[in-house]
A = this chain, B = another copy of it.
Amino acid sequence: MVVHPSLSEDALDRLFHALADTTRRNIVARLMGGEHATVSSLASRYEMSFAAVQKHVAVLEGAGLVTKHPQGRERIVRGNPEQLARARVLLAQLEQLWSARFSQLDAILAEPSRRTP
């Protein structure tokens, strides 16, 4: 089985911070959707400087949401769905805490009626 190393608090900070920006979420969506992307081709899609987009990509890379692969003078940027999944799993675990609040009470209520001893 494949081991899913859990992320440090610091890595989680970077991961959610990377997702907390419209432009960066948009870039992630493009990449996950399979758009062939160099830093330049990404930059051409947004109303901001090349350097600004470059910084956004660096933030995504630091969060592990994206990888860069040199190819000649270009850098191909690819999405990393596993990191996205780790963030999703953490949220699911937090939700699980919520539902766990009631599971014991549910069990008691679901129990076939039995007089208290």
Task: Identify the A interface with B (CB < 8 A).
Answer: 9-10, 12-17, 19-22, 25, 28-29, 32-34, 79, 81, 84-85, 87-88, 90-92, 94-95, 97-101
Contact = CB atoms under 8 A, between A and B. Distances in A.
Contacts of A97: 29, 32-34
Contacts of A10: 22
Copy count, this protein chain: 2
A101 B94 CA distance: 29
A70 to B, nearest CB: 23
Contacts of A95: 32, 81, 84-85, 88
Contacts of A20: 12-17, 19-20
Contacts of A13: 20-22
Given A17-B20, A20-B16, A22-B13, A94 B84 contact: yes
A56 to B, nearest CB: 13
Contacts of A85: 91, 95
